[in-house]
Amino acid sequence: MFISSAFAQTAPAAASSGGDLQSSLMSMLPLLLMFVVLYFVMIRPQMKKQKEHKTMIDALAKGDEIITAGGFLGKVSKLGDGYLSIEIANGVEVQMQRSAVIQVLPKGSIK
């Protein structure tokens, strides 16, 4: 009634030759080129930055002056495996994760 009959069509037989392989590789070339550019522009610098951050966090010592991701400035007073305590004012200590440290300041930066 409303749906017409569908008739199957056979596809014309394709002649397989070495040219088909070459054309398929050439069509993949832009995709591969985009991945290589993406790796060198985005992925590799991000991995390098993560490695530098991990090295900085592992090198933290008591008395270091730091800036945290929350914007706190303070001195490291206690160190643990995953956590540290920083003194943000006289007698005020805050405990936080080591990964929250974004920068180590030069000595004497905090007055």
| pLDDT tens-digit series, residues 31-60 | 999 999 999 999 999 999 999 999 999 999
The contacts of residue 8 (CB under 8 Å, 6+ apart) are none
Res 16 pLDDT > 70 = no
**Residue-level pLDDT at 33:** 94
- Residue 37, Cα to own-chain centre: how many angstroms? 16
Identify the band that residue 21 occupies on the pLDDT scale cut at 50, 70 and 90: confident
Res 18 pLDDT > 80 = no
**Within this chain, do residues 38 and 77 fall inside the same structural domain, yes or no?**
no
**Within this chain, do residues 85 and 43 fall inside the same structural domain, yes or no?**
no
Identify the band that residue 74 occupies on the pLDDT scale cut at 50, 70 and 90: very high
Q: Give the burial class of 29: count Cβ atoms within 10 A of its Cβ; 0-12 exposed, 13-18 middle, 19 or more buried.
A: exposed
DSSP label of 15: P
**Residue-level pLDDT at 26:** 87
**Within this chain, do residues 94 and 73 fall inside the same structural domain, yes or no?**
yes
Alpha-carbon span 41 to 11, nearest angstrom: 43
Quick check: is 1 in a domain? no
Quick check: is 28 in a domain? yes
Identify the band that residue 68 occupies on the pLDDT scale cut at 50, 70 and 90: very high
